[in-house]
Structure 1
């Protein structure tokens, strides 16, 4: 017998159990609970609103289709975010293949992309890979902070941990991402605003002040 009383405050664990039992109402609640955040995350990666919605919808379709055979899910938000990230990664790879094919069909005309566009594409691809290397709770805290612009207090409430715990998780995430994305960070004498510094929330003045120090010691 299916439960019939659900809302977005219902625990994900209960909703997942009902989904495994084939309860469409529980699936609708999971969809409404996570859809918007996942679309924002996908848009950050591929910069295409319509395709972002399409990829996120595909993820929910797969969640429903695999409901009877899927592995145990401990954190729904992290699990769905990982699925969306993989969908976006596959989409970007397909886009690159199409771009290369089109370029070959145009008699190998040179790529007219600006340096900034190339930098942006490379950064996004490396970011997807770097995020996949984070422990689930670190990634979740980081995504709440950077993709949803939540305060540490709001993140603490969502994750049911202390603010200090949130700070520790984000700190661990930044430590990993700084290493993984170090090729995109500016040289110490750079005076231009760098989008990677903005994303990681690293003050540019820090690099100017530590010109002779090791970046990895930050």
Structure 2
């Protein structure tokens, strides 16, 4: 059933918009390897690069109704992967910065510091248990099992947007609850 029309990105995009899994599979096979190579250039981890590229293909499939806006499929996918990698790097750096800001406390080997860290961790875990059930589950998958939104969506049988909303809701609730506690922790770390 493969013919020369499958060499045309315009044809593939039109077929994709019509929900053709065959067109999607052809696009995936055509671009996957090159996009993984590109993503690996950003993240220097082939497994993570493959996961990020797969996320982009899932997003392409989910947004297949809007493919008429795509003029250059190769450039579009490349841009998509680039943005996904940059988002991943930013998230990784913010987690590293948070860890680095807490690290001085851990290095002090101080009884007060240890007490505050343990109390904060206990309190945080308690607050997580109080989150609404679906929000808590999505948050725990994201933060404790390091799953991507796509992986969480598959596990929970919901859309990526729903996962994003659940995690945003969790963070908003926790930020509000943490607001009273953080000044003490920050002032102690800055001693």
RMSD after superposition: 2.1
Q: How many residues align?
A: 107
Q: Which structure dedicates a bigger proportion of its chain to helix?
A: 2
Alignment of 1:114-133 (within 5 A): none
Say whether 1:73 aligns with 2:70. Answer: yes
State the TM-score, normalizing by the size of structure 2: 0.52
**What is the aligned partner in structure 2 of residue 52 from structure 1?**
49
How far off is 1:66 after superposition?
0.4
**What is the aligned partner in structure 2 of residue 61 from structure 1?**
58
**What is the aligned partner in structure 1 of residue 88 from structure 2?**
91
Higher Cα radius of gyration: 2
**What is the aligned partner in structure 1 of residue 104 from structure 2?**
107
Residue segments in structure 2 that go unaligned for 5+ positions in a row: 108-191
Residue segments in structure 1 that go unaligned for 5+ positions in a row: 111-218
SS of corresponding position for 1:69: helix
Q: Can you list the C-alpha shifts for 1:32-80, whole angstroms capped at 9, x where unaligned?
A: 0000000000001110111100000010001000011345211111000
**What is the aligned partner in structure 2 of residue 124 from structure 1?**
none
CA distance in 1, matches of 2:60, 2:12: 12
Asked if the contact 1:31–1:60 (Cα under 8 Å) also holds between the matched residues in 2, the reply is: yes
After TM superposition, which residue ranges in structure 1, 4 or more long, deviate above 3 angstroms? 6-9
How far off is 1:98 after superposition?
0.8
Say whether 1:18 aligns with 2:12. Answer: no
